[in-house]
Structure 1
């Protein structure tokens, strides 16, 4: 057992070292429009809240469009349609708002904004859930369990069955009473 553990450990260390030596280096290219390196927060569309329930209002903002910019937002993936991003009090920030439709299905959706001046496309993710920390959505509909209701599918048949059981119980009680008295059957 001891002899096989050493070669295995050596193999694992050799593979790990090779992975470190050949790992690709990443250098973010400089953005020629704003001087901000790609991959920074300016290239993102920030979604608040990042997790919402159907019916919630969601705000998005970005600094990707630069000073005096404007943008059009697209939330059609979640069913909310298009919306406008307008300048805010923060320098170079644009913000927009949309409502998650009540018919939205749980999942992760890509929200997109396209800058009007530089035609830059920025994206952010919105997660739609059925419950949130602020409020809960009540379940709707019924559950098909196969058990059925108390009256079954046909109330007339159910009533006839209950009547038959009542007659049988009464007859059985009468016969037991006669037998106890010695009258015979």
Structure 2
């Protein structure tokens, strides 16, 4: 058992020393593809940017996971980022999709996620505002007719008064 552990440890150290285990060829983990907005609806426009391609670098973006095809990221003056845009197809189903960009020089590969939802987010802090009524199966308690409302209130008052009178008689021992 001890011999096997030494053999495996020695092999792992030899591989690391020889450079067999290195960072992935597609890039540094600190670089990423930033997606704005990160949540949108089908048919929405999306902007992506990355600094992974260096100052003045370009990239080819791919949205094949959602069927929008490829787009170009071009150099910009915004923090030396490469920036590109695409439109989410109207037929895209709700879900999270991976967006990929490959730098023209060096073949660095960066990824970002885009979430597609059914409805647009609006309101304070991106909350969806509710609309419509709730179908509970129970009708409305109060109608719009003031005569019916007054009759209902009168019936409740008579029932409350009668119940109080009966409880009072029972407490005195008069019977019902």
Q: TM-score range by the shorter chain?
A: 0.5 to 0.7
Q: 2:75 aligns with which of 77, 83, 87?
A: 87
Distance 2:23 2:64 in 1: 31
Task: Report how many aligned residue pairs link the two structures.
Answer: 102
Once the two structures are superposed, residues 26-58 of structure 1 have per-residue CA deviations (whole angstroms, 9 ceiling, x without a partner) of xxx8899xxxx9332xx1000000011001000
Is 1:116 paired with 2:118?
A: no
Per-residue deviation at 1:59? 0.3
Determine helix, strand or coil for the equivalent of 1:61: strand
2:95 — aligned with what? 107
Distance 1:103 1:58, change over 3 A: same
> Aligned pair 1:72/2:75, yes or no?
no
Determine the structure 2 residue equivalent to 1:18: none
Please, which runs of 5 or more residues in structure 2 have no aligned partner? 1-21, 129-176
Query: Equivalents in 2 of 1:45, 1:58: separation in Å?
Result: 12
Structure 1 residue runs of 4 or more that deviate by more than 6 Å after TM superposition: 29-32
Return 5+ residue gaps in structure 1 as ranges: 1-28, 137-185
SS in 2 for 1:102: coil
Q: Deviations over 1:133-172 (max 9, x none)?
A: 2498xxxxxxxxxxxxxxxxxxxxxxxxxxxxxxxxxxxx
Aligned residue for 1:44?
32
Cα offset, 1:92, TM superposition: 2.2
Query: In the superposition, relative to structure 1, how do residues 92 and 30 fare at CA in structure 2: closer, same or farther (>3 Å)?
Result: farther
**TM-aligned CA distance change 1:101 to 1:64, over 3 Å:** same
1:120 shift after superposition: 0.4
CA pair 104-92 structure 1, distance change in 2 beyond 3 A: same
| Residues 65 and 92, structure 1, Cα contact 8 Å, conserved in 2 | no
1:13 maps to none
TM-score by length of 1: 0.51
Give the aligned CA root-mean-square deviation in angstroms. 2.4
